[in-house]
């Protein structure tokens, strides 16, 4: 597999990437007057009740709409700021502006306590509603829910800081293969992930996607320079899915070369967790000398097996 990133180097050779699969009644009667009056009263009462509900809902929705920030279009949380003419703005946007975005008068530091009290009695949709979340929350619960909402957008898991794409989970794989076309995708529960030129000075990481069990798994090998002549390799498997889904699988990495065998078994992480967040946690770490023992002609072959959890072995 080609090292994806290269430090500037005029003599850095082009590395070939290889990843090989290892296996596969009809009469009318006049009613008494008292019954008619009773029936009419009941009908009127029911009609009144039916009208109250949509009116009440419409009122709540109207009040909620008043709390939409005219700049970022998010819902304003306390402190809610306003200009001297009464136009509201959220505190985050207030810190970025000197004039009112509605009437263009200089912004003040006036806080609208009345609208904050109104907001404390309302229920708001989660800001991730566009991605499928249907939860509605109070002021007090909104922020904490949104930080851990399972519908919050996913970021691109490609090991490239320049890619700023984010979106729904269902769109991650499509983005990955359409945008990062140099990443090889293979199918099968048992494959060989071949990282070429692992000792190349400018080679920093190798990435591929393994598709099996109706899922997609991101395989990464990254090289980190710890100091002069000191480097480590981090090998891990992440699932393009939720953390709950990832817990249903196990993966095994094995290296065999020169009459030596090394095996590592663990559970894949979700791409919800970035590679950086668990560089001190659960994944295979290889130092330079270990890589040299298992590499052949500068290439490191990692056998990756992905299984459903608790299915033996």
Residue 203's closest CA among 27, 54, 42, 3? 3
DSSP string across 215-280 = EEEEEEEEEEEEETTEEEEEEEEEESS-HHHHTTEEEEEEEEETTEEEEEEEPPEETTS-TGGGTT
pLDDT-derived band at 282 (thresholds 50, 70, 90) equals confident
Delimit the domains of the chain by residue range. 18-23+153-308, 50-148
Residue that the structure tokens 């990443």 belong to: 183
The span from the CA of 64 to the CA of 127, in Å, is 13
- Give the per-residue pLDDT at 214: 95
- Give the per-residue pLDDT at 54: 66
Q: Which of these ranges, 37-41, 110-114, 156-160, has the smallest mean pLDDT?
A: 37-41
The span from the CA of 175 to the CA of 168, in Å, is 10
- Give the per-residue pLDDT at 199: 81
Per-residue pLDDT at 302 exceeds 80: yes
Domain 50-148 sits in CATH at: 3.30.40.10
DSSP string across 197-219 = -TT-TTB-EEEEEEEETTEEEEE
Q: What is the three-state SS of 233-244? A: EEEEEEECCCHH
Per-residue pLDDT at 212 exceeds 80: yes
pLDDT-derived band at 18 (thresholds 50, 70, 90) equals very low
The span from the CA of 152 to the CA of 167, in Å, is 8
Per-residue pLDDT at 1 exceeds 50: yes
Per-residue pLDDT at 17 exceeds 50: no
Mean pLDDT of 89-106: 92
pTM: 0.66
- Give the per-residue pLDDT at 53: 62
**Topology of 18-23+153-308 in CATH?**
2.60.210
- Give the per-residue pLDDT at 304: 96
Per-residue pLDDT at 251 exceeds 70: yes
The pairing of strands 124-125 and 136-137 is antiparallel
Per-residue pLDDT at 10 exceeds 90: no
Q: State the Cα angle at 82 between 86 and 106, rounded to 5°.
A: 90
Average pLDDT, whole number, for the chain? 80
Per-residue pLDDT at 59 exceeds 50: yes
The span from the CA of 76 to the CA of 119, in Å, is 9
Mean pLDDT of 43-69: 69
The span from the CA of 139 to the CA of 120, in Å, is 6
The span from the CA of 84 to the CA of 21, in Å, is 68
- Give the per-residue pLDDT at 86: 92
């Amino acid at each position: 597999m080609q090292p994806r990133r290269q430090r500037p180097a005029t003599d850095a050779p082009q590395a070939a990437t290889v990843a090989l699969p290892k296996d596969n009644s009809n009469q009318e009667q006049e009613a008494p007057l008292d019954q008619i009056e009773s029936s009419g009263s009941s009908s009127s009462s029911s009609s009144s009740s039916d009208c109250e509900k949509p009116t009440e809902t419409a009122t709540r929705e109207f009040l909620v709409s008043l709390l939409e920030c005219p700049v970022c279009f998010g819902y304003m949380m306390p402190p809610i700021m306003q200009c001297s003419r009464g136009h509201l703005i959220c505190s985050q946007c207030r810190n970025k502006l000197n004039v009112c975005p509605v009437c263009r008068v200089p912004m003040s530091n006036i806080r609208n306590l009345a609208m904050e009290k109104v907001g404390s009695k309302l229920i708001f949709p989660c800001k991730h509603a566009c991605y499928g979340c249907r939860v509605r929350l109070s002021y007090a619960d909104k922020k904490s829910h949104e930080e851990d909402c399972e519908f919050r957008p996913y970021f691109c898991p490609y090991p490239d800081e320049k890619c700023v794409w984010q979106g729904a989970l269902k769109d991650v794989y499509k983005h990955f293969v359409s945008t990062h076309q140099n990443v090889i995708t293979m199918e099968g529960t048992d494959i060989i992930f071949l990282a070429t030129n692992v000792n190349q000075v400018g080679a920093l990481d190798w990435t591929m996607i393994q598709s099996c069990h109706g899922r997609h798994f991101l395989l990464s090998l990254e090289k980190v320079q710890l100091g002069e002549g000191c480097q480590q390799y981090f090998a891990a498997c992440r699932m393009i899915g939720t953390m709950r889904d990832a817990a249903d699988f196990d993966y095994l990495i094995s290296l065999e070369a020169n009459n030596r065998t090394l095996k590592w078994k663990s559970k894949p992480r979700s791409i919800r967790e970035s590679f950086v967040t668990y560089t001190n946690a659960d994944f295979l770490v290889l130092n330079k000398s270990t890589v040299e023992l298992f590499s052949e002609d500068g290439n490191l072959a990692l056998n990756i097996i992905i299984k459903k959890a608790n299915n033996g072995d």
